[in-house]
Amino acid sequence: MIIRVVKMEFDFGKVEAFRKLFDEHKNKIRNFPGVLRLELLQDIERENVFFTYSWWESAEDLEKYRHSELFKSVWSQTKILFAVKPQAWSLNREEFLP
């Protein structure tokens, strides 16, 4: 399993467009093969900064998604809303303390 974190900073006037876009596609993304969990997080102090936090069965599943028509469609609509280049990390969980 891997965890993917993507930090996105949007132009202030485009935050609602992003929220709408995410809402339209979140179930398709969540139900993509290999996705175990999907969350959207918003920075407490900077309302235009969001993070997606997703759990994947494998790095291969993430790569399949990144090459899918779903990703290409959503990403092409999302990237035009950015104020700065997004950042992304793929992580292995070392420990989990519930």
pLDDT tens-digit map of 33-52: 999 999 999 999 999 999 99
Residue with tokens 């202030």: 12
Look at residue 81 in the predicted model and tell me its pLDDT.
Answer: 98
Q: Based on the structure, what is the number of domains in the chain? A: 1
Look at residue 77 in the predicted model and tell me its pLDDT.
Answer: 97
Q: Does residue 98 lie within any of the structural domains? A: no
Distance of CA 53 to the CA centre of its chain: 6
CATH number of 12's domain: 3.30.70.100
Please give the Cα distance from 92 to 2 (Å, whole number).
5
Return the closest-CA partner of residue 82 out of 2, 8, 1.
8
pLDDT band of residue 5 (cuts 50, 70, 90) is very high
Beta strands per DSSP E along 11-65: 35-42, 49-56
Q: Does residue 97 lie within any of the structural domains? A: no
**Which domain covers residue 33, as residue numbers?**
2-90
| pTM summary value | 0.93
Mean pLDDT (whole number) for 4-20? 98
